[in-house]
Amino acid sequence: MSRLQLFCHGRLSWGLLALSGVALEIAALFFQYVMDLSPCVMCIYVRVAVLGLILAGLIGMLQPKVWIFRFIGLLSWAVSSVWGFSLSYELNDMQVNPSPFATCSFYPEFPSFMPLNVWLPSVFSPTGMCSDSPWTFLSVSMAQWMMVCFAIYGLIWFVMLVPSLKTAKSNL
């Protein structure tokens, strides 16, 4: 097996995915509670997409040598990356092109079987407006940084796709 294939079939690669998602969630909470930046409903949805990346990493870590776990992890990873990029792009559009007709909701719309804003209101309850962009780094807004992050997650997913789906061949 190639080195990349060995890496994809190991717990380390999936653990790094989960750990990077945890780091992003911690950063979001730092911005909210230390820097006192109020998250909007789109920010909360982006947090859910990052939570999807964490879950994808945990699924892959369960049994990384078993094809079905890697497949479910890869599928969750892809969906979370694309959905997160889409949400970040939409939020960026609201911030760059503010319109009184294109605003976001004040209340998150989670499914009834998973009311994250009720279970963990300190993490998943919005308190800000989507059109506000109170923080930038290197003249790039938080929504734009998240677009970069999700694009990188997507690129890494693409690189790991084929080696992850290959099964180990026995040497006869």
The catalytic residues are: 40, 43, 47, 104, 130
Q: Give the distance, in angstroms, between the CA of residue 10 and the centroid of all CA atoms in the same chain.
A: 21
Question: In whole angstroms, what is the distance from residue 93 CA to residue 154 CA?
Answer: 20
Q: Name the percent of the chain in helix, strand, coil, to the closest 5.
A: 65, 5, 30
Runs of H (alpha helix) within the chain: 3-8, 11-33, 41-62, 67-96, 116-119, 121-124, 142-165
Question: In whole angstroms, what is the distance from residue 20 CA to residue 9 CA?
Answer: 18
Question: In whole angstroms, what is the distance from residue 147 CA to residue 162 CA?
Answer: 24
The size of the chain, in residues, is 172
140 pairs with which residues across the strands? 137
